[in-house]
């Protein structure tokens, strides 16, 4: 016979003591996040403990520390019959079975177990098979028939199973008393009780993880790479994307499940006026995933839209959707986004987080391995294309802007990218402006070119002066993308803070309302600001 406390319910339970290190199935049935409402119904005042509030750091100690452990030497290791404990058992079951009288009667004979203490040999057999219903001469005959599954008196196994709840003061007064009585008689349980009670002292409220300083990442990585240079570095032009996706990832890991459904209004400038689209935090991540997928496909990675394609649509249930070969997945950001939103399970949940993060990690890894030439790989967005280095910079910009949307939606502080990265983003917008101007001119949305310019020669320019971290001076060629801007040909000047300029480019602030200083040719300024806003899209 083994120690009676070596029951089957040891720590090697279904969850194993060495439990899943990182495994938290977000959809699992016991996800605490889903079940726990922080503002929920568990009013601390409606506690069950009738003995008054417990101080969390001082669990109620039934006896002096070590007392039960020492006491066991003097008492028989084998528990006496637990009739008295049985009497303390939750009265619910007894009441249900109409045994209230029997319980009261039995309580009157609380001296009985003591009398039994000397009866070691007789009780040993009983204690070792706690699950067997022990015949009890004093028990009314009806008790046994109340449920054959009932394990008789509060058996050792049950008391042992209560130790955790007892240490946490999370069982009834009767159960506590029964456990405490048991501890004076069962050394293994007494030992465990002490250990568990000490463990309760180790519980402390997990502070909400203070937001890690987002700049810590680059400092840590820089320190590492200074100690041991990377053999396969992340290309410099991919660093803003690496940094911005990491920042957004940290934000996403910090928000609770309900916040994934917080409403977000995506804003952009459709060329003539501000436009917007309502979605959720999860929807924004879906949008980023769908558009990042353009770059992923260009690099030969899986297009996230392929796997998202809903089965009912693939079966041709609707006619509005083209067949598998008819332009699916679409190439333009807006269509891809709609396809992602339509194709996902509704509504989108935080389940979109992992695919987004895995794709961004895969992108960074792939460009690291791809070698120098890949920077110029052309990435098509449908009606325009960008070299990969710019495409990834554009994605970094979008990632920041949408992270900012999300941060606002969930009231989370979120700063701008590092100055160096911000500078690259502004530079990209400045480089795209002449072509955007020409495009608007062809569409009749901008004034006519005022000079014919020789390609490659300096032309009429707007001086864009961006202040703050990441700022600088740019000269935007006004009359042709083929010309280049030059200080001595500047006809107008715009002075603006870096972040404000980015908000303008993202379409978050209409050109008329952007906070900036203007000087010189008003039409040129008007056209450039509108062209800047029209760089935005869904």
Partner 1 sequence: MAKDTPPRRDRLMQQRLARGEAAALGELYDRFATLVHGTAHLVLGDDDAADQVTREVFGYIWENPDAYDPRREGSLRSWVARLTSRQAVHRLRQTEARAFAERGGGSPDEVERKVHGAAVAARADYIVSSMPAPLRAALELAYFQRRDYRQTAADLGVTEDEARRRLRLGLQLLSTAHTRPLDGLTPPPASGGPR
Q: Identify whether the C-beta of residue 340 lies closer than 8 Å to the C-beta of residue 308.
A: yes
C-alpha 72, offset from chain centre: 48
Query: Measured from the CB of residue 219, what is the shortest distance to partner 1 in angstroms?
Result: 7
Tokens standing for residue 169: 């003061």
Q: Which stretch binds partner 1 (CB under 8 A): 10-18, 76-84, 300-308, 400-408?
A: 10-18
- The verdict on 9 binding partner 1 (CB under 8 A) reads yes
Query: Measured from the CB of residue 389, what is the shortest distance to partner 1 in angstroms?
Result: 16
Tokens standing for residue 408: 């606002």
Considering only residues 142 to 171 of the shown chain, the ones binding partner 1 according to CB under 8 A are 160-165, 167-168, 170-171
Q: β-pairing, 458-467 with 484-497? A: parallel
Longest distance between any two alpha carbons in the chain, whole Å: 114
Q: Which stretch binds partner 1 (CB under 8 A): 140-148, 229-237, 324-332, 404-412?
A: 229-237
Query: Measured from the CB of residue 317, what is the shortest distance to partner 1 in angstroms?
Result: 36
Query: Measured from the CB of residue 142, what is the shortest distance to partner 1 in angstroms?
Result: 24
| Nearest to partner 1 of 1, 232 (CB atom) | 232
- The verdict on 16 binding partner 1 (CB under 8 A) reads yes
Query: Measured from the CB of residue 245, what is the shortest distance to partner 1 in angstroms?
Result: 9
Q: Identify whether the C-beta of residue 141 lies closer than 8 Å to the C-beta of residue 32.
A: no
Q: Which stretch binds partner 1 (CB under 8 A): 314-322, 360-368, 372-380, 494-502?
A: 360-368
Query: Measured from the CB of residue 241, what is the shortest distance to partner 1 in angstroms?
Result: 11
- The verdict on 122 binding partner 1 (CB under 8 A) reads no
Query: Measured from the CB of residue 200, what is the shortest distance to partner 1 in angstroms?
Result: 7
The residues near 281 (Cβ < 8 Å, ≥ 6 apart) are 255, 259, 260, 261, 262, 264, 406, 409, 410
Q: β-pairing, 472-477 with 385-387? A: unpaired
Q: What character string, x for contact with partner 1 (CB under 8 A) and - otherwise, covers 232-271? A: xxx-------x---x--xx--x------------------
Residue 136, SS3? coil
The residue within the footprint of partner 1, chosen from 27, 39, 204, 372 (CB under 8 A), is 204
| Nearest to partner 1 of 225, 454 (CB atom) | 225
Picking from 325, 337, 338, the residue whose alpha carbon sits closest to that of residue 288 is 337
Query: Measured from the CB of residue 70, what is the shortest distance to partner 1 in angstroms?
Result: 19
Q: Which stretch binds partner 1 (CB under 8 A): 191-199, 315-323, 398-406, 505-513?
A: 191-199
Picking from 243, 222, 231, the residue whose alpha carbon sits closest to that of residue 360 is 243
Residue 163, SS3? helix
The residue within the footprint of partner 1, chosen from 64, 137, 141, 229 (CB under 8 A), is 229
Q: What character string, x for contact with partner 1 (CB under 8 A) and - otherwise, covers 17-56? A: xxxxxxxxx--xxxxx--xx---x-x-x--xxx----x-x
Picking from 432, 350, 453, 315, the residue whose alpha carbon sits closest to that of residue 385 is 432
| Nearest to partner 1 of 31, 101 (CB atom) | 31
- The verdict on 95 binding partner 1 (CB under 8 A) reads no
| Alpha carbon distances (Å) from 143 to 8, 12, 100, 152 | 27, 35, 11, 9
- Can you tell me the distance from the alpha carbon of 536 to that of 437, in angstroms, rounded to the nearest whole number? 13
- Can you tell me the distance from the alpha carbon of 476 to that of 462, in angstroms, rounded to the nearest whole number? 5
Query: Count residues contacting partner 1 (CB under 8 A)?
Result: 82
Q: What character string, x for contact with partner 1 (CB under 8 A) and - otherwise, covers 311-350? A: ----------------------------------------
| Nearest to partner 1 of 155, 507 (CB atom) | 155
Q: Which stretch binds partner 1 (CB under 8 A): 107-115, 145-153, 188-196, 431-439?
A: 188-196
The residues near 207 (Cβ < 8 Å, ≥ 6 apart) are none
The residues near 285 (Cβ < 8 Å, ≥ 6 apart) are 252, 348, 352, 353, 356
The residue within the footprint of partner 1, chosen from 27, 39, 206, 273 (CB under 8 A), is 206
| Nearest to partner 1 of 190, 525 (CB atom) | 190
Query: Measured from the CB of residue 203, what is the shortest distance to partner 1 in angstroms?
Result: 5
Query: Measured from the CB of residue 515, what is the shortest distance to partner 1 in angstroms?
Result: 34
The residue within the footprint of partner 1, chosen from 61, 122, 224, 454 (CB under 8 A), is 224
- Can you tell me the distance from the alpha carbon of 176 to that of 94, in angstroms, rounded to the nearest whole number? 18
| Alpha carbon distances (Å) from 274 to 153, 268, 362, 432, 507 | 75, 6, 34, 20, 7
Q: Identify whether the C-beta of residue 502 lies closer than 8 Å to the C-beta of residue 426.
A: yes
**Cβ atoms within 10 A of the Cβ of 181, count?**
20
Q: Which stretch binds partner 1 (CB under 8 A): 102-110, 362-370, 374-382, 492-500?
A: 362-370
| Nearest to partner 1 of 225, 306 (CB atom) | 225
The residues near 164 (Cβ < 8 Å, ≥ 6 apart) are 170, 196
Considering only residues 64 to 83 of the shown chain, the ones binding partner 1 according to CB under 8 A are none
- The verdict on 216 binding partner 1 (CB under 8 A) reads yes
In 97-186, alpha helices (H): 100-107, 112-116, 120-128, 141-145, 156-161, 163-167, 173-183
Instruction: Look at the block and give the residue holding tokens 């920041």.
Output: 400
| Nearest to partner 1 of 226, 448 (CB atom) | 226
């Amino acid at each position: 016979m083994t120690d009676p406390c070596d029951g089957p319910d040891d720590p090697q339970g279904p969850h194993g003591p060495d439990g899943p290190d990182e495994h938290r199935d977000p959809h699992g049935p016991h996800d605490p996040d889903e079940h726990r409402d922080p503002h929920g119904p568990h009013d601390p005042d409606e506690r069950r403990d009738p003995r008054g509030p417990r101080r969390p750091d001082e669990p109620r100690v039934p006896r002096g520390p070590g007392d039960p452990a020492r006491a066991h030497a003097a008492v028989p290791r084998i528990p006496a019959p637990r009739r008295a404990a049985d009497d303390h058992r939750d009265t619910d079951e007894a009441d249900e079975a109409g045994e209230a009288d029997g319980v009261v009667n039995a309580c009157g004979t609380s001296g009985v177990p003591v009398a039994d203490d000397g009866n070691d040999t007789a009780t040993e057999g009983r204690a070792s098979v706690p699950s067997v219903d022990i015949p009890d001469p004093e028990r009314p005959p009806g008790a046994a028939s109340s449920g054959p599954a009932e394990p008789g008196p509060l058996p050792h196994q049950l008391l042992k199973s209560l130790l955790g709840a007892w240490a946490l003061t999370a069982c009834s007064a009767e159960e506590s008393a029964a456990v405490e009585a048991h501890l004076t008689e069962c050394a293994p349980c007494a030992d465990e009780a002490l250990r568990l009670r000490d463990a309760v002292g180790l519980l402390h409220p997990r502070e909400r993880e203070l937001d890690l300083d987002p700049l810590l990442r680059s400092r840590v990585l820089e320190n590492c790479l200074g100690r041991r240079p990377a053999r396969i570095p992340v290309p410099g032009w991919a660093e803003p994307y690496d940094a911005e996706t990491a920042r957004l990832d940290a934000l996403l890991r910090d928000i609770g499940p309900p916040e994934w459904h917080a409403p977000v209004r995506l804003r952009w400038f459709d060329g003539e006026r501000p436009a917007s689209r309502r979605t959720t935090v999860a929807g924004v991540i879906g949008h980023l995933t769908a558009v990042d997928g353009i770059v992923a496909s260009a690099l030969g990675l899986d297009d996230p839209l392929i796997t998202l394609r809903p089965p009912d649509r693939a079966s041709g249930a609707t006619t509005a959707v083209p067949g598998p070969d008819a332009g699916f997945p679409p190439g333009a950001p807006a269509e891809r986004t709609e396809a992602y939103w339509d194709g996902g399970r509704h509504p989108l949940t935080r389940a979109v987080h992992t695919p987004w993060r895995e794709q961004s990690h895969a992108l960074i890894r792939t460009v690291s391995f791809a070698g120098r030439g890949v920077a110029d790989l052309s990435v098509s967005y449908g009606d325009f294309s960008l070299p990969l280095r710019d495409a990834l910079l554009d994605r970094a910009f979008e990632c920041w802007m949408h992270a900012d949307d999300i941060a606002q939606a969930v009231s989370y502080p979120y700063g701008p990218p590092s100055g160096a990265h911000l500078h690259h983003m502004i530079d990209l917008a400045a480089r795209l402006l002449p072509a955007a101007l020409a495009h608007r001119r062809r569409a009749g949305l901008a004034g006519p070119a005022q000079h014919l310019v020789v390609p490659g020669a300096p032309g009429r320019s707007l001086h864009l002066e961006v202040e703050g971290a990441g700022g600088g001076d740019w000269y935007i060629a006004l009359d042709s993308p083929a010309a280049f801007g030059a200080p001595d040909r500047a006809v107008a000047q715009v002075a603006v803070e870096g972040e404000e300029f980015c908000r303008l480019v993202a379409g978050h602030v209409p050109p008329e309302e952007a906070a900036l200083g203007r000087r010189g040719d008003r039409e040129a300024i008007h056209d450039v600001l509108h062209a800047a806003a029209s760089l935005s899209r869904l």
